[in-house]
Chain A
Amino acid sequence: MARIALKDVYKKYGAVEVLRDIDLDIADGEFIVLVGPSGCGKSTLLRMIAGLEPITGGEFTIDGERMNEIAPRDRDIAMVFQSYALYPHMDVGRNMGFSMEIRRSPAADRTERVAGAARTLGLDRLLDRLPKALSGGQRQRVAMGRAIIRDPRAFLFDEPLSNLDAALRVEMRLEIARLHQRLAATMIYVTHDQVEALTLADRIVVLEGGIIQQVGTPLDLYERPANRFVAQFIGSPTMNILPAERSDNGIAIRGGPTLDLPGIGGTGEVANLGVRPEHIDITAPGQGDLTGVADVVEHLGSDTNIYVDVQGVGPVMVRARGNVPVKPRESVGLRLLREHAHVFASDGVALRA
C-alpha cells in the first residue's frame, strides 16, 4: 500500500537547478513511468524518492507521511538498478535474501521466501551461483528477485532493461508487466525508451529540462500532447512539424495550402502545425493537400515509411499501412487527416478547442 506524493519538489546542485516545480500524485498500485531525454532529471527524481539523493526543497510523502529526511533503509522501497548492482561475493540466494538477512528474519522464513521468488523468476537452479557466472538476463532477474522478496511498499526501476539485447528486453518487459499485475504494487519506472513507457505505464510523466512537461495515460500523451516537446517525444516515427499560421478560414501551412481546421480554440497566434506520419494518406499527385517527391522509401512489411520532399514546405514523413508501391523520385500527393492534426503556439504550447 503506498500513495506517493511530491509537492513543489525541487533539486539544486549548488546554484544549478536540475529539477523544479515537481508536483505528482501517484495512486496506490499505479505504474508510473518517468520518461525524457538523457539529462532531463528523471533518474535524479527517482533517486530522491529512493532517498539516495537529498531533496533540496518541497515535500515528499508516502501515505501522507513526510519522507524527505528518512533514510533509504526506513522508506521501505525497493530499487532495481540499471547496473543490477548484485553483490559479487554472494551467491544468488544470498543476494536475494540479503535484505531479510540484514533485518534478521528467521533463516527458515528467508529460505522459503527466496525459494518462492526464485521459482517465479525461473532461478531455482541458479541459487548457488555467483553473479559473475550469470548471463545478463539472469542477473536482471536476480535484481528483480532481490526487490520482490522484501514485499516493499513501492518499487523503483532505474532503466532496468537498457543493458539487455533487444529480444531479452521485450521478454523482461513482459515479465515486469506481469509482476505488476500480480503484486499490484506501486511502481515507478525510469526509461528513455518510449516503447517501454507506452507499453508499461498506467500514466507517463514526461520530463525535460528538469520540468514536468505532461502527465497522462499513454493514449493521452499520444492524442493530446500538451506541447511540441511531448508531441515529438512520444510516437515513432516522430511527428511532422510544419511552420504555419492562423488565417481567416483555417490554418495556413507556410508555403502550402490553408487547412480548414475547426475546433482550434482561442485566438492565440499559431506557429506550427503538427501531423503524425501515420495520419497522412498517400494520394495521386495533385489530389490531397500537398504534392511532393518521394525521397527515400523504407519497406518494413507491415508499414512503409516514405520521406517526401514538398516544394516550399520541406520534408514530410509518411507512414502508410502495408506495402505501398511508391518508388523514390516518384511524385505523390499527401492528404492530412484533419481530426488528428495539432496546432502549436510559438512557445510550443498546444492550442485546443
Chain B
Amino acid sequence: MAVLRKPSPLRVAGKYGALAFYVAFALFPLYWLLKIALTPDQLIYSEGTKLWPGAATLENFRIVLFQSDFLAYFRNSVFVSLTTAAATTLIAAGAGYAFSRFHFRGKRALVAVMLVTQMFPLLMIIAPIYKIVAAIGLLNSLTSLIIVYTAFNIPFATFLMQSFFDGIPKDLEEAAMMDGCTRFQALRKVIVPLTLPGLGATLGFVFTAAWSELLFALMLINSNDTMTFPVGLLTFVSKFSVDWGQMMAAGVLALVPSCLFFVFIQRYLVQGLTSGAVKG
C-alpha cells in the first residue's frame, strides 16, 4: 500500500469549492422560490432580479392559505399520494418477493412485459387512458388518479423491491422455517424487518412521483373540488396576470410534505441492516 500523504491544502480547497458550487447550483431555484414567495407584490417587478428582496412579507402565504382553494388541493394531493404510495409499495413488495424467491412459468415474459410498459412516453397513452377512465365513470375523481398512478409506478417499484429482496440471503428464511415458521411467518418476522429500508425507499419514490404528477391530473380532473396541488398551482395563472408571489408561496408549502416524508423515512433508508447475518 502506498504511504498516505497529507493531501495538499490546495486540493482540499478545490474539493470543497466544487462541492459548494454544486450545492449552490442545486439549491438556487429553491432559494428563488422562497425569495419570490416572501417578496411583497409591488416589489416583484420593480426590483427585478435582485438577490435579496428589499422588504419581506408573509402576505402571500396568508392569501394562499386563507383566501384560495389551496388547502383543498393540498388535501387532495396528500390523499392521492399517500394512497398511491401505500398501494404501490404493497403490491410491488409482493411481486418483488415473488420475482426474487420463486421460479414459475411465465416469469421472464412477465418481467419483459413490465419493462415494455416503461418504454412508452406517457403522452402516447393519454387519450386511451382518458377514454377508459371516462367509460368507467371515474372522470373528476381522485380514485382515477390513484389507479393510474399505481398502475404506472408498479413496474419500477417492483424491480426496486426485487433488488432489495435479492439482497437478503435465502438462508435466513430457510433458517426461520426450520425454526418453526411458515413461509408467511418467516416473511413477516425475518424478511420484512430487514426490508424496511427498501420499503422506505419505494414509498418515498412513489410518493414524490405521485405528488408532483401534472399530466394525468390535468387531463382527468376538471372540477375544483378534486384538483390536486400541481393542477391547482395553475389557477394562480389567470387570463391577464400571474400571481407570482402566491404561486411561489403555494410551491413552498407544497415542499413541506415531501420534506416531512423524507425526514420520517430516512432512518429506514440507512443501509447495512443485514450485516452480520451471514458470513461477512
**Binding partners A and B:** yes
- Asked if B279 lies at the interface with its beta carbon under 8 angstroms from chain A, I say yes
B255-280 near A? 1/0 per residue, CB < 8 Å: 00000000000000000011111111
Instruction: Please determine whether B276 and A99 come into contact, CB atoms closer than 8 angstroms.
Output: no
Complex Cα spacing A234 to B115, Å: 52
Partner of B279, one of A51, A99, A133, A136: A136
Which of A85, A103, A132 is in CB contact (< 8 Å) with B175? Answer: A85
Closest to A77 in B: B178
Does the CB pair B275–A132 fall under 8 Å? Answer: yes
Verify B276–A133 contact, CB threshold 8 A. yes
Binary per-residue interface labels of chain B (77-115) against chain A in the complex, 1 for a CB within 8 Å, 0 otherwise: 000000000000000000000000000000000000000
Q: With contacts A73-B182, A102-B180, A102-B185 known, is A130 near B175, CB below 8 A?
A: no
B194 at interface (Cβ–Cβ under 8 A)?
Answer: yes
Contacting residues, chain B, for A114 (C-beta < 8 A): none
Asked whether, in the complex, the Cβ of B181 is within 8 Å of the Cβ of A134, the reply is: no
Separation of A170 and B272 alpha carbons in the complex (Å): 31
**Interface range, B side:** 20 to 34
Interface residue? A184 (CB, 8 A):
no
CB distance from B173 to the nearest CB of A (A): 9
Residues of A within 8 A of B177 (CB): 51-52, 71-73
Could you say which interface size class chain A belongs to? 20 to 34
Whether A71 pairs with B172 at a CB distance below 8 angstroms is no
Chain B residues in 8 Å Cβ range of A139: 276, 279
Known: A88-B194, A89-B193, A89-B273. A83 touches B279 (CB 8 A): yes
Give CA–CA (A230, B256) in the complex, Å.
Answer: 71
Which single member of B182, B193, B276 contacts A86 (CB below 8 Å)?
A: B276
- Report whether A81 and B171 are in contact in the complex, using a CB–CB cutoff of 8 Å: yes
Taking CB atoms and an 8 Å cut-off, the chain A residues in 18-57 that contact chain B are 50-52
Residue interface bits B179-207, CB-to-A below 8 A is 1, else 0: 11110010001100110000000000000
Alpha-carbon distance between A130 and B193 when the two chains are bound, in angstroms: 14
Complex contacts, B185 vs chain A, CB 8 Å: 102
Query: Which A residues are in CB contact (< 8 Å) with B180?
Result: 73, 99, 102-103
Chain B residues with CB under 8 Å of A102's CB are 179-181, 185, 189
**Interface assignment of B174: CB less than 8 Å from any CB of chain A:** yes
Q: Which of A90-142 contact B (CB under 8 A)?
A: 98-99, 102-103, 130-134, 136, 139
Q: Does B169 sit within 8 A of A, measured CB to CB?
A: yes
Do B273 and A98 touch across chains, with their CB atoms under 8 A apart? no
- A89-B193, A89-B273 known; A72+B278 contact, CB < 8 A: no
Closest Cβ of chain B to A333, distance in Å, is 49
Chain A residues with CB below 8 A from B189, complex form: 102
What residues on B are CB-neighbors of A146 within 8 Å? 175, 179
Residues of B near A81 (CB, < 8 A) are: 171, 174-175, 278
B contact residues around A73 at 8 Å (CB): 177-182
Contact residues in A for B253 (Cβ distance below 8 Å): none
Asked if A316 lies at the interface with its beta carbon under 8 angstroms from chain B, I say no
Q: Are the C-beta atoms of B169 and A83 separated by less than 8 Å?
A: yes
Nearest CB of chain B from residue A97's CB, rounded to whole Å: 10
Interfacial chain B residues near A136, Cβ < 8 Å? 279
Least CB separation from B181: chain A residue = A102
Q: Mark A56-85, 1 if CB is under 8 A from B, else 0.
A: 000000000000000111000111010111
Asked if A181 is at the interface of the complex by the 8 Å CB criterion, the answer is no
Taking a contact as CB atoms under 8 Å apart, the answer to whether B178 and A72 are in contact is yes
Residues from chain B with Cβ under 8 Å of A132 in the complex = 275-276, 280
**From residue A161, how far is it (CB to closest CB) to chain B in Å?**
12
Closest to A86 in B: B277
**B148 CB-CB contact with A under 8 Å:** no
Roughly how many angstroms separate A321 CA and B252 CA in the complex, as a whole number? 85
Q: Among B174, B176, B280, which residue has its beta carbon within 8 angstroms of that of A87?
A: B176
With a cutoff of 8 Å between Cβ atoms, the chain B residues found around residue A78 in the complex are: 178
State A89–B194 Cα separation when bound (angstroms): 7
Docked pose: A48 CA to B180 CA in angstroms? 17
Q: In whole angstroms, how far apart are the Cα atoms of A250 and B279 in the complex? A: 54
Q: Does residue A163 face the partner (Cβ distance < 8 Å to B)?
A: yes
Residues of A contacting B171 in the complex (Cβ-Cβ under 8 angstroms): 81, 83, 85
Which 6 interchain pairs have the tightest Cβ spacing? A132-B276, A83-B278, A131-B276, A85-B171, A85-B175, A88-B277
Binding site for A on B (CB under 8 A): 169, 171-172, 174-182, 185, 189-190, 193-194, 273-280
Could you name 16 residue pairs across A and B whose Cβ atoms are closer than 8 Å? A50-B178, A51-B177, A71-B177, A72-B174, A81-B174, A83-B169, A84-B278, A85-B172, A85-B277, A85-B278, A87-B172, A87-B175, A98-B179, A99-B180, A102-B189, A139-B279
Interface residues of A (CB under 8 A from B): 50-52, 71-73, 77-79, 81, 83-89, 98-99, 102-103, 130-134, 136, 139, 146, 150, 163
